[in-house]
Amino acid sequence: QKEVEQNSGPLSVPEGAIASLNCTYSDRGSQSFFWYRQYSGKSPELIMFIYSNGDKEDGRFTAQLNKASQYVSLLIRDSQPSDSATYLCAVNIGVNGNQFYFGTGTSLTVIP
């Protein structure tokens, strides 16, 4: 079983809609959770991180964490064509935070 799992997609949403990206993880001891965006041919960039159960909002992005169910999601409101990219979920496992695991990414296309 992989440490972090994501649906590879592709996920297509119309412009202005809400895009929902999901990620599950296997280690209940996971401490922190991250969402990165990677445009084609570029390196990943950090969008946001979350440590506590519940929602965390940053502009059009909302991260949701449910430790009991071991999933973390990313909602993108008012999706724009510029949001089209691959979204990587990452989990930091361990008390000392010395093990990062990345999912394989979900490809998102926002259709104008």
Using CB under 8 A, list all residues that contact another protein. Answer: 31-32, 34, 36, 41-46, 49, 51, 88, 90, 92, 97-98, 100, 102-105
Backbone φ and ψ for 96, nearest 5 degrees, come out as -85, 0
CA distance 26 to 50: 17
Query: Considering the complex, what minimum distance in angstroms separates the CB of residue 100 from another protein?
Result: 6
Query: Considering the complex, what minimum distance in angstroms separates the CB of residue 101 from another protein?
Result: 9
| Preceding peptide of 10 cis, ω within 30° | yes
Core vs surface per residue 22-56: b (16+ CB within 10 A) or e: bbbbeeeebebbbbbbeeeeeebeebbbbeeeeee
Beta carbon nearer to another protein, 3 or 20: 3
Query: Considering the complex, what minimum distance in angstroms separates the CB of residue 36 from another protein?
Result: 8
Beta carbon nearer to another protein, 41 or 112: 41
Beta carbon nearer to another protein, 5 or 70: 5
